[in-house]
Protein backbone atom coordinates (compact mmCIF):
# COMPACT_ATOMS: atom_id res chain seq x y z
CA UNK A 1 0.00 0.00 0.00
CA UNK A 2 1.48 3.32 -1.00
CA UNK A 3 1.88 6.25 1.37
CA UNK A 4 -0.71 8.36 -0.42
CA UNK A 5 -3.39 5.73 0.16
CA UNK A 6 -2.52 5.66 3.87
CA UNK A 7 -2.95 9.40 4.37
CA UNK A 8 -5.27 10.42 7.18
CA UNK A 9 -8.87 11.09 6.26
CA UNK A 10 -10.23 14.45 7.39
CA UNK A 11 -13.63 14.45 9.06
CA UNK A 12 -15.05 16.72 6.38
CA UNK A 13 -14.16 14.12 3.73
CA UNK A 14 -16.50 11.61 5.32
CA UNK A 15 -20.24 11.33 5.11
CA UNK A 16 -21.56 9.69 8.28
CA UNK A 17 -25.19 8.60 8.39
CA UNK A 18 -27.47 6.57 10.68
CA UNK A 19 -27.39 2.92 9.67
CA UNK A 20 -31.03 3.12 8.59
CA UNK A 21 -29.87 5.38 5.75
CA UNK A 22 -27.27 2.85 4.60
CA UNK A 23 -27.89 -0.33 2.66
CA UNK A 24 -27.30 -3.79 4.03
CA UNK A 25 -24.89 -4.39 1.13
CA UNK A 26 -22.82 -1.43 2.34
CA UNK A 27 -22.66 -2.81 5.87
CA UNK A 28 -21.68 -6.24 4.58
CA UNK A 29 -18.85 -4.64 2.60
CA UNK A 30 -17.51 -3.04 5.79
CA UNK A 31 -17.68 -6.22 7.87
CA UNK A 32 -16.17 -8.36 5.12
CA UNK A 33 -16.37 -12.08 4.48
CA UNK A 34 -13.50 -13.27 6.68
CA UNK A 35 -12.12 -12.61 10.15
CA UNK A 36 -13.77 -11.91 13.49
CA UNK A 37 -16.07 -9.18 12.20
CA UNK A 38 -17.75 -11.58 9.77
CA UNK A 39 -18.38 -14.03 12.62
CA UNK A 40 -19.43 -11.64 15.39
CA UNK A 41 -21.44 -9.04 13.46
CA UNK A 42 -21.15 -6.64 16.38
CA UNK A 43 -23.11 -8.97 18.69
CA UNK A 44 -20.47 -9.55 21.38
CA UNK A 45 -22.27 -7.47 24.00
CA UNK A 46 -25.78 -8.20 22.77
CA UNK A 47 -25.81 -11.98 23.04
CA UNK A 48 -27.76 -13.65 25.82
CA UNK A 49 -26.22 -15.91 28.50
CA UNK A 50 -24.79 -19.13 27.04
CA UNK A 51 -24.95 -17.80 23.48
CA UNK A 52 -21.68 -17.84 21.51
CA UNK A 53 -20.51 -17.16 17.99
CA UNK A 54 -20.50 -20.92 17.42
CA UNK A 55 -23.91 -21.64 18.92
CA UNK A 56 -25.68 -18.89 16.99
CA UNK A 57 -23.64 -18.84 13.80
CA UNK A 58 -22.75 -15.92 11.53
CA UNK A 59 -26.01 -15.93 9.56
CA UNK A 60 -28.12 -15.51 12.70
CA UNK A 61 -25.83 -12.84 14.13
CA UNK A 62 -25.85 -10.96 10.83
CA UNK A 63 -29.64 -11.09 10.80
CA UNK A 64 -29.73 -9.62 14.30
CA UNK A 65 -27.50 -6.74 13.26
CA UNK A 66 -29.67 -6.09 10.23
CA UNK A 67 -32.72 -5.84 12.49
CA UNK A 68 -30.89 -3.60 14.98
CA UNK A 69 -29.71 -1.19 12.31
CA UNK A 70 -32.91 -1.09 10.24
CA UNK A 71 -30.68 -0.76 7.16
CA UNK A 72 -32.48 0.77 4.22
CA UNK A 73 -35.46 1.96 6.26
CA UNK A 74 -35.11 5.73 6.40
CA UNK A 75 -38.34 6.00 8.39
CA UNK A 76 -37.07 3.76 11.18
CA UNK A 77 -37.53 5.35 14.59
CA UNK A 78 -34.68 3.41 16.16
CA UNK A 79 -31.29 2.45 14.81
CA UNK A 80 -28.20 1.27 16.60
CA UNK A 81 -25.25 2.62 14.71
CA UNK A 82 -23.55 4.81 12.14
CA UNK A 83 -21.99 4.14 8.76
CA UNK A 84 -19.15 6.23 7.29
CA UNK A 85 -18.61 6.82 3.57
CA UNK A 86 -15.53 8.12 1.78
CA UNK A 87 -16.07 9.10 -1.84
CA UNK A 88 -19.36 7.18 -1.70
CA UNK A 89 -17.59 4.00 -0.60
CA UNK A 90 -18.75 2.47 2.72
CA UNK A 91 -15.65 2.44 4.93
CA UNK A 92 -16.60 2.34 8.62
CA UNK A 93 -19.16 1.29 11.20
CA UNK A 94 -19.76 2.36 14.79
CA UNK A 95 -22.26 0.78 17.19
CA UNK A 96 -23.97 3.25 19.52
CA UNK A 97 -27.15 2.46 21.43
CA UNK A 98 -28.61 2.65 24.94
CA UNK A 99 -26.29 0.86 27.36
CA UNK A 100 -29.21 -1.17 28.71
CA UNK A 101 -29.67 -2.79 25.27
CA UNK A 102 -26.53 -4.91 25.77
CA UNK A 103 -27.30 -7.99 27.90
CA UNK A 104 -23.73 -9.25 28.06
CA UNK A 105 -22.39 -5.82 28.91
CA UNK A 106 -24.84 -5.70 31.82
CA UNK A 107 -24.29 -9.24 33.12
CA UNK A 108 -20.84 -10.55 32.27
CA UNK A 109 -18.57 -7.56 31.92
CA UNK A 110 -17.02 -5.73 34.87
CA UNK A 111 -15.54 -2.88 32.82
CA UNK A 112 -18.48 -0.45 32.95
CA UNK A 113 -19.33 -1.12 36.58
CA UNK A 114 -16.26 -1.71 38.75
CA UNK A 115 -15.85 1.08 41.30
CA UNK A 116 -18.95 2.93 40.08
CA UNK A 117 -22.52 3.26 41.29
CA UNK A 118 -24.46 3.14 38.05
CA UNK A 119 -28.04 2.12 37.38
CA UNK A 120 -27.64 -0.62 34.80
CA UNK A 121 -31.22 -0.18 33.60
CA UNK A 122 -30.88 3.54 32.85
CA UNK A 123 -31.78 3.81 29.17
CA UNK A 124 -30.66 7.46 29.00
CA UNK A 125 -27.01 6.40 29.21
CA UNK A 126 -25.79 5.22 25.82
CA UNK A 127 -22.72 3.15 24.97
CA UNK A 128 -20.31 3.13 22.03
CA UNK A 129 -19.36 -0.54 21.90
CA UNK A 130 -17.85 -1.38 18.53
CA UNK A 131 -15.88 0.04 15.61
CA UNK A 132 -15.24 -1.70 12.30
CA UNK A 133 -13.15 -0.15 9.54
CA UNK A 134 -13.17 -1.74 6.11
CA UNK A 135 -10.01 -3.50 4.98
CA UNK A 136 -7.87 -1.05 3.02
CA UNK A 137 -9.00 2.00 5.00
CA UNK A 138 -7.70 1.24 8.47
CA UNK A 139 -5.49 3.52 10.61
CA UNK A 140 -6.62 6.60 8.70
CA UNK A 141 -8.77 8.26 11.35
CA UNK A 142 -12.16 6.92 10.28
CA UNK A 143 -13.00 5.42 13.68
CA UNK A 144 -12.05 8.67 15.41
CA UNK A 145 -14.52 10.56 13.23
CA UNK A 146 -17.16 7.96 14.01
CA UNK A 147 -16.58 8.36 17.76
CA UNK A 148 -17.27 12.08 17.48
CA UNK A 149 -20.36 11.47 15.40
CA UNK A 150 -21.59 8.82 17.84
CA UNK A 151 -21.67 11.33 20.69
CA UNK A 152 -23.80 13.71 18.63
CA UNK A 153 -26.02 10.84 17.51
CA UNK A 154 -26.71 9.76 21.11
CA UNK A 155 -27.34 13.31 22.32
CA UNK A 156 -29.73 14.05 19.48
CA UNK A 157 -31.76 10.98 20.44
CA UNK A 158 -32.23 11.99 24.03
CA UNK A 159 -29.22 10.47 25.78
CA UNK A 160 -28.10 12.32 28.89
CA UNK A 161 -24.68 10.64 28.68
CA UNK A 162 -22.66 8.40 26.40
CA UNK A 163 -19.79 6.06 27.30
CA UNK A 164 -16.97 4.20 25.58
CA UNK A 165 -14.77 1.40 26.90
CA UNK A 166 -11.28 1.87 25.51
CA UNK A 167 -8.56 -0.75 25.30
CA UNK A 168 -5.03 0.56 26.02
CA UNK A 169 -3.22 -2.27 24.25
CA UNK A 170 -4.50 -2.13 20.69
CA UNK A 171 -7.99 -0.68 20.76
CA UNK A 172 -9.37 -3.71 19.00
CA UNK A 173 -13.02 -3.29 18.12
CA UNK A 174 -13.80 -1.18 21.22
CA UNK A 175 -11.57 1.79 20.39
CA UNK A 176 -8.48 3.44 21.84
CA UNK A 177 -8.09 5.95 24.66
CA UNK A 178 -6.90 8.65 22.24
CA UNK A 179 -9.83 8.06 19.94
CA UNK A 180 -12.32 8.80 22.69
CA UNK A 181 -10.48 11.70 24.30
CA UNK A 182 -10.08 13.36 20.90
CA UNK A 183 -13.86 13.05 20.53
CA UNK A 184 -14.46 14.89 23.80
CA UNK A 185 -14.89 11.93 26.16
CA UNK A 186 -13.40 12.15 29.67
CA UNK A 187 -11.95 9.21 31.58
CA UNK A 188 -14.09 8.31 34.61
CA UNK A 189 -12.63 4.98 35.71
CA UNK A 190 -9.86 2.51 34.93
CA UNK A 191 -10.99 -1.05 35.78
CA UNK A 192 -7.81 -3.01 35.24
CA UNK A 193 -4.52 -2.49 33.46
CA UNK A 194 -5.80 -2.29 29.91
CA UNK A 195 -9.31 -0.83 30.01
CA UNK A 196 -10.85 2.56 30.75
CA UNK A 197 -14.36 3.96 30.86
CA UNK A 198 -14.72 7.31 29.10
CA UNK A 199 -17.86 9.43 29.16
CA UNK A 200 -19.61 12.57 28.05
CA UNK A 201 -22.36 13.94 30.28
CA UNK A 202 -24.42 16.15 28.03
CA UNK A 203 -26.11 18.05 30.84
CA UNK A 204 -22.72 19.24 32.06
CA UNK A 205 -21.51 20.12 28.56
CA UNK A 206 -24.55 21.73 26.97
Question: Would you state the pLDDT for residue 83?
Answer: 97
Question: Would you state the pLDDT for residue 10?
Answer: 87
Three-class DSSP category at 16: strand
pLDDT, average across residues 149-154: 96
Structural domains in the chain, CATH included, are 12-205 (3.40.630.30)
- Tell me the average pLDDT of the chain: 90
Q: In this model, does residue 152 exceed pLDDT 90?
A: yes
d(CA 163, CA 112): 9
pLDDT, average across residues 82-89: 96
205: pLDDT confidence band, cut at 50, 70 and 90?
very low
Q: Cα–Cα distances in Å, from 28 out to 21, 108, 176?
A: 14, 28, 24
pLDDT, average across residues 100-114: 89
Highest mean pLDDT among 93-97, 112-116, 133-137: 93-97
pLDDT, average across residues 74-78: 75
Strand ranges for the chain from DSSP E: 14-18, 81-86, 89-98, 125-133, 161-167, 186-189, 195-201
Three-class DSSP category at 101: helix
pLDDT in tens, 40-73: 999 999 999 899 999 999 999 999 999 999 998 8
Question: Would you state the pLDDT for residue 109?
Answer: 80
Burial 101-136 (b: 16+ CB within 10 A, else e): bbebbeeebebbeeeeeeeeeeeebbbbbbbbbbee
Amino acid sequence: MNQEFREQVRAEQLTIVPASEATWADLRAIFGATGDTSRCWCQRFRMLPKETWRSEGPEELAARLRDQTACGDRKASATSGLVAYLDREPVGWCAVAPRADHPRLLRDNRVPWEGRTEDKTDATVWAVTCFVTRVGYRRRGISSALARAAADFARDRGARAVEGYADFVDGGSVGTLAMFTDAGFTEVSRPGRRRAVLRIDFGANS
